A and B are shown apart, each in its own frame.
Chain A
Amino acid sequence: MNSLAKDRMATAMFWVAAGLVLLILGTLIGYIFYHGLKSVDWQFITSPSQNIRAGGGIGPQIFNSFYILFLTMAISVPIGLLAGIYLAEYAGRSPLAEAVRVAIETLTSLPSIVVGLFGLLLFVNATGWGYSLMSGALALTVFNLPFLVRVSEESIRGVSRELAEGSLALGATHWQTIWRIIMPSAFPALLTGIIITSGRVFGEAAALLYTAGMSSPALDFTNWNIFSGTSPLNPFRPAETLAVHIWKVNSEGIIPDVRRVADGSAAMLVMVVLAFNFGARSLGRYIHRRLTAA
């Protein structure tokens, strides 16, 4: 066997491996949508779920997922952004910056179930809120923060230094330069990153089992009083998200139409996450075009 024949064999192996990855992806996506779209209709998306009987929908779960995403982002984006600014603009190579980096690495590699356990201790038991949207959002903040810090640091580092230097040379303070010059240029990359992390948050379940809980109280969508127990907007009520719902109906579901509900839920979940991913990309490109007039 000479080296040329070996080279050809190797090339074939590379193509087979690449084909295998595409095949796996095709199978997964095809399976989800083929089965899922058969069970998704308007009624399924809007009606409440059933615990025992067949015919339940996923209306409240979809609402909970988006609401918890909104709360999580409202808490984690400001903190992540400011910490990212610190790392990119002020920290340099100080010991503190190094410590922040180690912390981020640690948080990134934490299993999400461990984040959930921490949330159970601190945000569910210590605060006395019980299983609630707020506890879930805080747990997801812990889960999401390292990615956001990284995203904002990288998007700021991507801005050309000459811009900032020009601003400083004109007598602007560092703080003004960051907010008037650097941030607008970093905005497209930042927004793309934020939307992609939103997709991760939307699909996360393990951190929510013991923080936001696995039940959804009867919601009255006409009740907008934020302090009432049946109001969908009350942040201190338990809330099962779509991702948690998929896990629950499969592992302890006693409804007769588990298959239908799980198929439909999985298709909805994947559709939303994919929409986030594609949306992030095209929106980033669009804003970039608008800002740079390229």
Chain B
Amino acid sequence: MNWKLFFDRAGRGLTLLCAALVILLTISIIYFISSKGLATFFVNGISPGEFLFSDQWLPERSLSEGGPQMGAAAFIIGSLLVSLLAVGISAPLGIIVAVFIVEIAPGWGQRVLQPAVELLAGIPSVVYGYIGLSLLVPFIRVYFGGGGFSLLAGFLVLSVMILPTIISVSTDSLRALPLEYKHASYALGSTRWQTIRMVLIPAARSSLITAVVLGMARAFGEALAVQMVIGNTREIPTSILSPMMTMTSAITMDMGATVMGTTWNNALWSMGLLLLLMSLFFILIIRLVVRKGAVQ
């Protein structure tokens, strides 16, 4: 028995085991969340159509009045609105800052902005929520009207939170471009702005889209920071200043207040499943975009 060889084999097996564990973990998350999340439709008999498209959220209506109604549309629309608006601000701003770091002021950008972006990424999300609550919400109340807890506060907080993600991925993708593109463009007499707009950005398009989708995924799944500033009223927001609710904040607030196995509780798990499906969908988009846009 050669111990050296034995350890070599056993060690390889051990690393394989840990890698397999990562796969197993992912599969079991999908399995467990799905089995709980589908109970709403199979056990409580709520139709998926009602859950997705109705905004009638009456979880505790008695059977004599027609039973509980579980329309989660207000939360789904809330989640989509708040994250799309956040990306609407952060995508252009993030890409502009990334171009600044790579092209406009490489030395200064590297020394000052890059650490700044890393600091922003390092601030925990509850702290973002808390600053939104104590600084942004009163500001909105005083200068724009309404109660302050609003869609506006929600997407502003989110847009700052996803900025680091978008900036760092965009920076990497712009750095990875071949220098020849830039040199050729200058040689043809382009200005710096024309080079950035017509050569560099289009060349990095697929990775820039990846950056934006990653930011969107983060915004969509963020729970506590959003919950602290949007007011949490269970209706579709009518204006940018009205309070609202997202799927994540519904789960955060009601999971502890409802009993396991009730229709209301199961509907929360269905929202969890929907969040899971959305993040799988975002990954799928990224994989498709990258495969299509890879530089040949």
Contacts and interface: CB of A to CB of B under 8 A. Distances in A.
A203 B127 contact: yes
Nearest to B15: A86
Nearest to B27: A103
A3 B227 CA distance: 46
Interface string B20-40: 111101111100110010000
Interface string B235-268: 0000000000000100110011000100000000
Interface string A255-267: 0000100100010
B11 A145 contact: no
A246 B130 contact: yes
Given A204-B124, A243-B126, A173 B5 contact: yes
Contact of B135 (A31, A80, A200, A202): A31
B272 A7 contact: no
A273 B123 contact: yes
Interface stretch (B45-53, B54-62, B69-77, B189-197): B189-197
Interface string A104-124: 111101111111011011100
B29 A83 contact: no
Contacts of B36: 117, 121
A250 B15 contact: no
Contacts of B131: 28, 31-32, 266
A266 B127 contact: yes
Contacts of B135: 31
Interface string A183-218: 000000000000000011011111001100010000
A82 B18 contact: yes
A96 B12 CA distance: 14
A9 B275 CA distance: 41
Contacts of A110: 29, 221, 276, 279
A219 interface: no
A39 interface: no
Contacts of A293: none
A127 interface: no
A46 interface: no
Interface in A65-88: 78-80, 82-83, 85-87
B288 to A, nearest CB: 13
B127 A269 contact: yes
B254 to A, nearest CB: 11
A221 interface: no
A125 B252 contact: no
A149 B22 contact: yes
B100 A10 contact: no
Interface stretch (B112-120, B140-148, B168-176, B179-187): B112-120
B163 interface: yes
A11 interface: yes
B68 interface: no
A24 interface: yes
A13 interface: yes
A206 B127 contact: no
Interface in B87-127: 93, 96-97, 99-101, 104-105, 109, 112-113, 116-120, 122-127
Contacts of A244: 126
B289 interface: no
Nearest to B220: A111
B123 A270 contact: yes
B211 interface: no
Contact of B125 (A28, A120, A203): A203
A17 B15 contact: no
B214 interface: yes
A250 B119 CA distance: 24
Nearest to A248: B126
Given A7-B192, A10-B196, A18-B97, A199 B122 contact: yes
B113 to A, nearest CB: 6
B102 to A, nearest CB: 11
Interface of B: 4-5, 7-8, 11-12, 14-23, 25-29, 32-33, 36, 93, 96-97, 99-101, 104-105, 109, 112-113, 116-120, 122-127, 129-131, 133-135, 160, 163, 167, 191-194, 196-197, 214, 217, 220-224, 227-228, 248, 251-252, 255-256, 260, 269, 272, 275-276, 279-280, 282-283
20 contacts: A6-B191, A14-B100, A28-B120, A28-B123, A28-B160, A82-B18, A96-B23, A106-B279, A107-B25, A110-B29, A111-B222, A112-B223, A113-B272, A117-B272, A122-B28, A125-B260, A175-B8, A204-B124, A250-B130, A273-B123
Question: What are the 8 tightest A-B residue pairs by CB atom distance, in nearest-first order?
Answer: A111-B221, A203-B124, A86-B15, A10-B193, A82-B18, A7-B191, A103-B26, A175-B11
Given A3-B193, A109-B221, A111-B223, 17 more contacts: A11-B193, A14-B100, A79-B18, A86-B15, A90-B12, A97-B19, A111-B279, A113-B248, A114-B29, A118-B29, A125-B260, A142-B29, A199-B122, A203-B124, A203-B125, A244-B126, A269-B126
